[in-house]
Structure 1
């Protein structure tokens, strides 16, 4: 049995909404009246999930749109983070969602989450950022050049086919290769410290990733800070910014910048060994803080 199947990480069924802004692929897992909207970063789409258990445990419904270029959402839907934030708000209206308990930005999905909180404060009650790209240029030149070769639309299927084969037939090598650019610690130590359950969850996740046209779009859009500072200062809702100093993919300076610019932000420093904070030993404690954050009364800021 594959790692993905053993850990329930088979692709989740998704739907497509035809909106004025364009087509949006999404997944809506209904659990309760409160809804959380999650924007994932690079190589993830609505059919995959990462760290959503914390919201399920809080009894929240989870809406996950595939960002432009990922899954079945074309790059033409939303010309910017703000444009896709507007499309996501329209998707909420399409689905009858009149209040979002929190919008969550993961990694490269951070700017879209910030934009949605800034532009749609009547809809969004809170903002949660996890290892998120902040109001700084991202990524560095070396990473950008390498990614443009490996994850360009005409090469990404070959790159990911090799990765998928590697994690299946040489999992240790695959984990070291994939985690190398996600941690500032010696990657062999990081892999050696993984709990067996987390190791298998990671292998299952990596075996499903694809970039589509989304990652090269992200690189182009996020290479310049643009209006992200302007968006962040307009966020009137409370925010949690969660990140680790050991993150090599999105450096901790992004979290500090976000916490400094967002008017009502709390910075939580994860002790995780890599960009993947959900696999840190302190994630249960961070989950408790997220639950408390979601349970707080209606925001008084405006």
Structure 2
């Protein structure tokens, strides 16, 4: 599975509205993947570990992304209930884990808290928590670059830059995703990793979803009783490591795994091959009665 690859999706009309999703059936156990900002159900990011372990992957587009309108769910709580309805529609009665990536973190936490009978475990990757985020400068920039009238042009410009001057494009986009000097981050990337990042950035869109992600949502971390695995790096320039520390402190049965990745994109980190077995082991463990 290539990072940034595009896969076929389906759209279903539920009681709450239309939902776009990708369902890749493998084994009997299912993992629900809630994507981060600027991505959608059809864009594969960081899922290899689940596919290689034989898990069925269900990836819905969150509100405002892809073909899921902003009106479907809208809030983290609302869309958590939509995901539950989607699982019911697809005949999925139990989820081995819900995975929240970056901006999908709050919805993943909320899904685990609101539907403990469905969700067995929680995995958070470079996830946004409930600390103040983003900073004022980033917030203002987001409202300029990713507003409904501008986000299409923004990503068109990114695609042109990535195709014509990929080094410059990577330098520009990675500058907001790492706390390290960008030259150091680029120097450590293999040609395959560079190509994967270029492909990922070329396929990103924000729709109405990213600005919706910036709205506050109720914090239900203390209500999560399932085991949780939180993966983050201290050099994340997009979501500060303090978010991972806060999530680990607030979720009762949480384990924090510190990645040595150079940026927010932990799947490109040199130690990801070491972290992936920890994810598989976490999924294989039976949740204890006290943690459910």
Instruction: Give 2:203's match in structure 1, choosing from 183, 202, 208.
Output: 208
In 1, Cα distance between equivalents of 2:181 and 2:63: 34
Q: Indicate conservation of the 8 Å contact 1:99/1:125, yes or no.
A: yes
Match of 1:22 among 17, 23, 44: 17
In structure 2, the residue corresponding to 1:56 is in which secondary structure? helix
Kindly state the Cα deviation for residue 149 of structure 1 after the two structures are TM-superposed: 0.4
> Structure 1 residues 159 and 187, CA, compared in 2 at 3 Å: closer, same or farther?
same
Other-structure match for 1:67: 62
- Aligned position for 2:130: 135
- Name 1:268's counterpart in structure 2: 257
Equivalent in the alignment of 1:3: none
> How far does the alpha carbon of each residue in 1:167-216 deviate from its partner, in whole angstroms, 9 at most, with x for none?
11100000000100000000111111101111111111111111111111
User: Matched residue of 1:128: which SS?
Assistant: strand
Which position in structure 1 is the counterpart of 2:280? 291
Offset, 1:296:
0.8
What is the total number of aligned residue pairs between the two structures?
291
Residue 141 of structure 2 corresponds to 146
For 2:125 and 2:231, locate their aligned partners in 1 and report how far apart those are by CA, in whole Å: 5
RMSD: 1.2
8 Å contact from structure 1 (residues 125, 237) kept in 2: yes
Deviation at 1:141, TM superposition (A): 0.5
Structure 2, gaps ≥5 residues long:
none
Residue 53 (1) aligns with residue 44 (2): no
* Distance across 2 between alignment mates of 1:296 and 1:9: 29
2:288 and 2:68 map into 1 onto residues whose CA distance is: 32
Deviations 1:203-255 (A, max 9, x none): 11111111111111112x1xx4x421xx1111110000100000011000000
Asked if the contact 1:125–1:299 (Cα under 8 Å) also holds between the matched residues in 2, the reply is: no
What whole-Å deviation, never above 9, does each CA across 1:41-98 have from its counterpart, x for those lacking one?
A: 1100001011100001111000000000000000001131011000001000000000
Instruction: Report Cα offsets for 1:135-178 as digits up to 9, x if no partner.
Output: 21211110000011011111011010000011111000000001
Where structure 1 has 5 or more consecutive residues not aligned to the other structure, the ranges are: 1-5
